[in-house]
Structure 1
Amino acid sequence: MFDTGYSAYQNTAVEGKAAGADVQQLVLMLFDGFLEELERTVGHINGRRFERKANSVEKMLRILGGLEASLDLDKGGELAANMARLYDHCGQQVLQASLRNTTEPLDNVRTVMTNLQEGWKGIGSQA
C-alpha cells in the first residue's frame, strides 16, 4: 500500500514539475528519471527481483524513446544523429543487461547518460 501511495505522489510531483518546465528542463528530468531507474535496475538484478527488473528496463527504454523522439534530425544535423546513435547504443546495452541479468553493460550506459546530462546542464547555464 505504501508503495502505491508513494508512486502516486511521485507521479503527481513529476507532472507538476513538467507542467512548468521548458524543453531543457524536461530533457534534464528525463535524464534524472533514466539514471534513477538505472540504479533501481542494478538493485533488482543484484537482488534477483526479475519482474521488477523488467518493469525498470521498460521504463528506461521508454525514456530513451522519449529522448530520441525529442531530437530534430533535420535541424540538428550531425549532432542530433550522433545523439540518436548514443541513445540506441544505450538501449541495446540495457537490453543486454536485462537478457543476461548482469549489471556490467549498465556501467557504460551510466557513464554515457551522465555525460550527456552534464552537457545539457552546461547548455542551461550558458543560456
Structure 2
Amino acid sequence: MLDFAQGYQAYQHTSVNVKASGADIHSLVLMLFEGFLDELARVEGHIQAKRFDKKAAGVEKLLKILGGLDASLDQEKGGEVALNMHNLYQHCGHSILRASMKNNIAELEHVREVMTNLQEGWQGLLNKA
C-alpha cells in the first residue's frame, strides 16, 4: 500500500511528465529551476531534521538538475552569457557540496539567491517571447 509521501511523489512525477510533454525549451528550463528550488528547500529541511540519508539523495537530485541546466546551454550561440551561466551552475554545485559536508543551511541561502535570480531572468525571457 502506498503511503501519502509515495502517492504525492507519484502525482508529482505524473504532473511533471504531462507538463514537460508539451513544453518548449524555455518552459522546460523554468521547470528545472522550479524543481531545483523545491528540492533545495527539502534538503534544508532534511539538514534541520538530521535526516542525512534523505539529504544526500536530495543533494544528488540538485546536482543532476544543475547538470541538466548546464546541458541546456548553447555554448556556441550563447557566448559569454552561456559561459557565465555555466560558471554560476558550477559555483552553485560546489556550494551545495560544501553545505552538505558541513550541514550548513546558511551556505545554501546563497545558492537559493543565485538560482532564484536566474529563474526570474528566464521567466522574463519567456514573458517577452
TM-score by length of 1: 0.98
Q: RMSD of aligned C-alpha atoms?
A: 0.6
* Gap runs ≥5 in structure 1: none
Match of 1:9 among 11, 19, 23: 11
Tell me the residue number matched to 1:51: 53
* Gap runs ≥5 in structure 2: none
Instruction: Give the distance between the partners of 1:55 and 1:15, measured in 2 at CA.
Output: 21
For 1:78-89, list aligned pairs within 5 A.
Answer: 78-89=80-91
Tell me the residue number matched to 1:42: 44
SS at match of 1:122: helix
| Superposition deviation, residue 70 in structure 1 | 0.5
* Equivalent residue pairs, number: 127
Instruction: Give the distance between the partners of 1:95 and 1:115, measured in 2 at CA.
Output: 20
Tell me the residue number matched to 1:114: 116
TM-score by length of 2: 0.96
4+ long deviations beyond 3 Å: none
Percent identity over paired residues = 59
Instruction: Give the distance between the partners of 1:121 and 1:3, measured in 2 at CA.
Output: 30
Letter in 2 for 1:63: I
